[in-house]
Amino acid sequence: YVAIGDVVAFLRDHKPPMTHVVLTGRNAHEDLIDLADLVTEMELVKHPFRSGIKAQIGVEF
């Protein structure tokens, strides 16, 4: 929803030094990965949806 160039420019040039920014989601743009201090990939091992347990208000949405 926001152009990657705008995000990178803000993080690189305008973010206050002691402000922490957490970005979540899949398939991070390479420019964000290069700029980041920490990048984590998570892998789904087990999820209740697979056992037929439906999403719960206040937990999944």
Domain boundaries, the chain: 4-51
pLDDT confidence of 21, banded at 50, 70, 90? very high
**pTM score, two decimals?**
0.70
DSSP state string for the chain: ---HHHHHHIIIIIS-TT-------SS--HHHHHH-S----------GGGGTPPP-TTTT-
**What mean pLDDT do residues 11-28 have?**
95
**Predicted pLDDT of residue 27:** 92
Q: What is the spatial distance between Cα 43 and Cα 9, in angstroms, rounded to a whole number? A: 30
Q: What is the spatial distance between Cα 30 and Cα 12, in angstroms, rounded to a whole number? A: 14
Which of 18, 33, 23 is closest to 2 using CA atoms? 23
**Predicted pLDDT of residue 30:** 97
Between 12 and 60, the higher pLDDT residue: 12
